[in-house]
Amino acid sequence: MNDRGMSIIVKTITGPVKVLIFLFGINVILFGHLTPGGGFAGGVVLAGSYVLLMLAFGKGYAEQNLPTSLASRLDCIGALLFATVACLGAILAGSFFVNFLYQRYLPGRLLDLVSAGTIPLSNLAIGLKVGASLYLVVVMLSVFGKDTADKV
């Protein structure tokens, strides 16, 4: 199996397409409280852009762009951010997961980007978490599959 990536056609197309996929993922995450989508779907799209990079240019290139140590750190940051938002609700408004930003500090207007209080923050956290962890899953499983194939 050629691990250094695919043909020149795939590599050339991947150049602009990966940017579009990444931006689409960010769009889906940031506008999750206004349009269909949200943290989970956007995170999977973000992971998909790096998986495309990995398939087209080989594992080493993707590893240079997003090392697995950084990915696992992003995963933990996302989980921590989500838990922090939940705990801040408990501290500032007296109840776990209460939408304290919307109810007390930053009501915002319906259909504005800055609205809905903690929901965009939670979307961001889940997007980070899901994107990083799904990228890790793909890296781990592809290495695992190759390893066992070599042995058999």
Partner 1 sequence: MVLFYILLAFMIIAAIIAIETRDLLSSVVSVSAIGFIGSLIFLILQAPDIAITQIVVEVLALIILIRATIARDLTTIAEGREFFGTVVCVAVLLVIALATVRAADALPVFGRPAFASIEGSPSQIYLRQGSRDTGAANLVAAVILDYRAYDTLGEATVLFTSIIGATAILRSRTVKALQEPEA
Q: Which residues contact 97 (CB under 8 A, 6 or more apart)?
A: 86, 89, 90
Do 58 and 4 form a contact (C-beta atoms < 8 A)? yes
The yes or no reply on residue 62 touching partner 1 (CB under 8 A) is no
Segment 74-133, which members bind partner 1 (CB under 8 A)?
A: 75, 79, 82-83, 86, 97, 99, 102, 107-108, 110-111, 115-119, 122-123, 126, 129-130, 133
The yes or no reply on residue 57 touching partner 1 (CB under 8 A) is no
Long-range contacts of range 69-73, CB-CB < 8 Å, 24 or more positions apart?
A: 71/132, 71/133, 71/135, 71/136, 71/139, 72/132, 72/136
Interface with partner 1: number of residues (CB under 8 A): 65
Alpha-carbon span 66 to 138, nearest angstrom: 13
Report in angstroms how near the CB of residue 105 gets to partner 1 at its nearest.
12
Among 14, 41, 87, 105, binds partner 1 (CB under 8 A): 41
Alpha-carbon span 87 to 94, nearest angstrom: 9
DSSP state of 3: T
The yes or no reply on residue 10 touching partner 1 (CB under 8 A) is no
Which positions touch partner 1 (CB under 8 A)? 1, 3-4, 28, 32-41, 44-45, 47-48, 51, 55, 58-60, 63, 68, 72, 75, 79, 82-83, 86, 97, 99, 102, 107-108, 110-111, 115-119, 122-123, 126, 129-130, 133-134, 136-149, 152
